Chain A
Amino acid sequence: MSVRAAEGGKHNVLHPGDIVVLPVDLAMAQDSTGPLAIKVIREMGIKKLWDPSRVHLVIDHTYPAADEKVANLHNLIREFVREMGCRLVEGSISHQHLLESHVVPGMILFGADSHTCQGGAVGAFATGVGSSDMAAIWATGKIWAKVPESVNVNLTGKLGKGVFARDIVSHFIGMVGEDGGNYRSIEWKGPAVKTLSISSRACISNNSMECGCKLSVFEVDEATRDYFKKVNRKPLMEVHAGPKANYVKEYTIDLDELQPQVAEPGHVDQVKTVDELEGQHVDQAFIGSSTNGRIEDLVVSAQILKGHHVKPGTRCIVTPASRLVFEEAITTGLAETFLEAGAVFTNATCGACVGTHLGVLGENEICISSSPRNYVGRMGASSAQIYLASPATAAASAIEGKITDPRKYL
């Protein structure tokens, strides 16, 4: 953070708590935050964007429109994009789309979406703000930020069978609590990092939001460099923690010991191991979201579902995170496996995760979900109950209609 902040604020040394004004490289809003930002910038009387090529509007949360009210807000976005000449993407979840097509190491990315912190997976400064702050960025390309304190999470060992990146980050949230990362920058380090794919790191950075963090960062390493060679994008800058880096807290997670994790309904930090909750009845299993809708998530889900059938009376919904993931799931046969198993395979959207369409829960229904939040009313009725788990645990639970240890099917 300090390197790019210094560029913006002309300072060489920054300390936690300092306020800086940052130059923004990319500004993103989506279909549930963009309309309000558009209203705000219009109320300010601002007619021109600072740099339309750096302003991205993504229609993802309720895509395609589920009803007339949503359709009208989508059209407000399309009209704004035409007027301002900025960028429009429809039908991929913003965070996955940005990872596939725009984010690079060292970039300063602000998004009107809390999970924007996913960009830290490839060494970007990436964080979420609201609609009015976003309107100010659209107008000037700059925004204020407070320099965060940093915490260090040391990952050791190796993930066992049936245990995934999602289990690492769920376990961490259980350790530190719902606000354990509030205002902080989380740095993921240690010998196990090199065993994690870029998608796994994206899952961890994305889901770190659930302890309130501002940033969740992996340093650029060989895997990051290989990824950017493959996608043919040039990193802006590699940011590494110096030898004098100060951490307000340090944690260690031994992946050898880690079990599949499940968060109980209501709060993301009520995390248990799968064996403690095995047998809990579920009405729906959801596999998807920006946290866990990548191809590696669908591969393991298909591996579990192959040759089995979703329990009669249970719904299983699989929603990829982007158009690219959707296409790959079709061309590689994953989609066919889902359909054969009796699951529903949808287009890419935030739909079920935010309870807006394609998997909304009714009163008292129980869902196991790979999405990031299990709050009251998150996926529909206030009385519905959401358990959070990895895609593998959700897939195994779909087969049995109850919370199930995925290791049984791997």
Chain B
Amino acid sequence: MSNTTTRLPRLLRGRAWVWPDDVNTDIIIPFRFKARTNDPVEMAKYAMYGFDPEFYKKVHKGDIFVAGRNFGGGSSREQAPVAIKYSGVSAVIAESFARIFYRNSFAIGLPALEVPGITKKVSQFDEVEVDMENWAVRTVKDGQVHKATKVPDFLMELVKEGGLVEYYRQHHSFPWEKLEKLPVAR
């Protein structure tokens, strides 16, 4: 998205914002705001508006979302992960993700880690650490490591490089183009 985004660091550490199951994209950013700007910084002002219109004032740079099942359901709006990312949030961990939100997160370079059971391990504002190399989450208070559901290599490369814009600028191709030369990828 932005000209300033670069390859993500190996470790992301921040305070957790814990959210419930079924947080949909209308809650993350209502249509009437997202359809009136094309500027990610402006979108970030409406992040999590459905729960707290002042969220953008409260979030700290580097904070991490920890959510329940089906995070990001509903509309295909990429403005949802964009608003979260530009509000300062560095990663989203959830019990599970809705399909389009999950794709969009990789496409814009927002790490989205599926970790079943994670909401039972983390309380509001606990410190958590995301290990991008091992695609795992460490809860700092007890040092436990929770493996995230594995994703295909091309998606890992995509998110590490900061999303499709950055990837394309680096490689002049899209990360899945090399898959066409392979047998079925799993």
A: residues with CB less than 8 A from B are: 9, 11, 14-15, 17-21, 31-33, 35-36, 39-40, 43-46, 61-62, 67, 69-70, 73, 76, 111-114, 116, 128-133, 135-136, 139-140, 142-144, 178-179, 182-183, 210, 212, 214, 267, 354-356, 360, 373, 375-378, 380, 382
Interface string of B47-58 (1 = CB under 8 A from A): 001100100000
The answer to whether B108 and A129 touch across the interface, beta carbons within 8 angstroms, is no
Min distance, Cβ B49 to any Cβ of chain A, angstroms: 7
Residues on A with beta carbons closer than 8 Å to the beta carbon of B164: 40, 44, 132-133, 135-136
Is B15 located at the chain interface by the 8 A CB criterion?
no
The residue in chain A whose Cβ has the minimal distance to the Cβ of B35 is: A32
Q: Are the C-beta atoms of B152 and A114 separated by less than 8 Å?
A: no
Shortest distance from the beta carbon of B53 to any chain A beta carbon, whole Å: 8
Are B180 and A31 in contact, with the CB atoms below 8 A? no
Q: What's the tally of chain B residues with a CB closer than 8 Å to chain A?
A: 51
A132 touches B108 (CB 8 A): yes
Residues of B1-20 at the interface with A, using a CB-CB cut-off of 8 Å, are 1, 3
Q: In the bound complex, do residue A76 and residue B77 qualify as a contact, i.e. CB atoms below 8 Å apart?
A: no
Give the CA-CA distance A393 to B168 in the complex, in Å. 49
Contacting pair B70 A132 (CB below 8 A): no
A69-B37, A356-B32 known; A375+B184 contact, CB < 8 A: no
For the complex formed, measure the closest distance between the CB of B151 and the CB atoms of chain A, giving whole angstroms.
10
Contact digits for B150-169, partner A, Cβ 8 Å, 1 yes 0 no: 00101000000001110011
Say which residue of B35, B96, B174, B185 sits within 8 Å of A62 (CB atoms): B35
Determine the chain B residues whose CB is within 8 A of the CB of A32 once the complex forms. Answer: 31, 34-35, 77
Distance (whole angstroms) from the CB of B140 to the closest CB of chain A:
29
The verdict on A36 contacting B76 (CB below 8 Å), with A14-B184, A132-B163, A354-B31 known, is no
Q: Which of A112, A140, A179 contacts B69 (CB 8 A)?
A: A179
Give the interface segment out of B22-30, B59-67, B120-128.
Answer: B22-30
A376 engages B27 (CB within 8 Å): yes
- Shortest CB–CB separation between residue A376 and chain B, in angstroms? 4
A67-B74 CB under 8 A given contacts A9-B180, A373-B26, A382-B50: no
Within the complex, the shortest CB–CB distance from A9 to chain B, in Å, comes to 7
* Known pairs A129-B100, A182-B99; A21 contacts B74 (CB<8 A): no
